[in-house]
Amino acid sequence: MFKPEALLSELEKTGAAVAEGEMMAMHTSFRIGGPAAVYIRVSSAAQLGQVLEVLGRFSVPYFILGRGTNLLVSDDGIRRAVISMTESASGDLSQIRIADGIKAEDDETVYVEAGAGITLARLASFARDNGLTGLEFAAGIPGSVGGALVMNAGAYGGEMKQVVSSVRLMQPDGSITEVPGGEMRFGYRTSRLKEVPDTAEKGAVSAIALGAVFELKKADPAQITRTMQELAAKRMEKQPLEYPSAGSTFKRPEGYFAGKLIMDAGLAGYSVGGAQVSEKHCGFVINKGGATAADVKQLMCDVTEKVLQTYGVLLEPEVIMVE
């Protein structure tokens, strides 16, 4: 086991912000989660590389955190170092710009380069302000670019797969590569960034997204704004945005909608402790106040069992469980 004092001392030399016992409830949209063994906030690819070198030297496993919008963290916390890549005031992980030096196929195509720490809301706003269409669907997704690349985030018919031209990756050894979007193996809420070999040791990780280049098209900013406003109105009407949650709790089963199956099974409003199946949208499990990870897990188990018994459909979690 590593010596905390020595590890913290070496991590602080990288310039990253480091803390012990940081409560993950402060960093997840569910507002649930116990302490991280070590919490590290990085702002640049260079700093991230230094942090990975230190963790490797001390044989400390780690977990990469975006904005925590699709996570259920154990009440006991995370027994790994947590590396946060959320947006900061400086550093290349928080930069966004019109990409230079990329030859477009036509006069209507424009490329935008964005760091992994940038929020999808900021990315979508940047595209709108520059008269670029393709990211309207992302405006209301609360995650970061990095998390969106891992999960192939999407909504209302749009997804990352449709707009990602290339992704800049850091391997666990600190080396950096550029991967075409077509090689990211984007699928329904997955990508190559979620893949870890079956033979890998527990705690192993895949490559880490540092940022991406997005291929967008020129369009009327007013129309882009209208589309974003329409999608925002739909979210407000249909989703329980007034409560902490991790978004859609279950993946969409082929040929079905998880929320409708749960509602038709009579589970709207079903509660375990402070966790509840939203009555507004049964596809969401919400934190009504004081919910624990154990509450959410038990509720998800109950819902899965009831839907399977009633309809013969096995629901799979979309929420990622971390400990």
Q: Which among 6, 17, 61, 67 is positioned nearest to 39, based on CA atoms?
A: 17
Check whether domain 4-84 has CATH 3.30.43.10, yes or no: yes
For CA atoms 36, 8, 143, 188, give the dihedral sign. Answer: negative
Q: Could you state, in order of their start, the residue ranges of all structural domains in the chain?
A: 4-84, 92-237, 242-322
218 forms bridges with which residues in the sheet?
132
- Contact assessment for residue 58 and residue 18, using Cβ atoms and an 8 Å cutoff: no
Q: What is the DSSP string of 40-92?
A: EE--SHHHHHHHHHHHHHTT--EEEESS-TTEEE-TT-EEEEEEE----SSSG
Q: Any idea which residues carry the catalytic annotation?
A: 189, 248, 318
The predicted structure's pLDDT at residue 137: 97
What is the gyration radius of the CA atoms in the chain, in angstroms? 20
pLDDT tens-digit profile of 32-50? 999 999 999 999 999 999 9
Q: What angle do CA 303, 304, 309 make, to 5 degrees?
A: 100
What averages of pLDDT result for each successive group of 10 residues across the chain (323 residues)?
Answer: 78 95 96 96 95 95 94 96 80 92 87 96 97 97 95 95 97 94 94 70 71 97 97 95 96 96 98 98 97 98 98 96 94
The owner of tokens 């990780």 is 205
Distance CA(165)–CA(223), nearest Å, equals 24
pLDDT at 199: 43
Q: What is the dihedral of CA 259, 263, 269, 271, to 10 degrees?
A: -80
Q: Shortest CA distance to 135 belongs to which of 148, 116, 117, 147? A: 148
The DSSP secondary-structure symbol of 2 reads: -
Say what angle helices 45-57 and 4-12 make with each other, to 10 degrees.
Answer: 160
Query: What CATH number has the domain spanning 92-237?
Result: 3.30.465.10
pLDDT of the residue at 293 = 98
Q: What is the model's pLDDT at position 100?
A: 85
Q: Which residues of 55-64 are buried (b: 16+ CB within 10 A; e: fewer)?
A: beebebebbb
pLDDT digits (tens, 9 = 90+) for 148-202: 999 999 999 999 999 999 999 999 899 999 999 999 999 999 999 988 654 444 4
- Extract the tokens encoding 279: 């009555």
d(C-alpha 257, C-alpha 252), whole Å:
5
In sequence order, what are the residues at sequence separation of 6 or more whose Cβ sits closer than 8 angstroms to the Cβ of residue 261?
Answer: 253, 307, 310, 311, 313, 315
Pick the CATH number of 242-322 from 3.30.930.10, 3.90.78.10, 3.40.50.970, 3.90.79.10: 3.90.78.10
* Predicted pLDDT of residue 200: 43
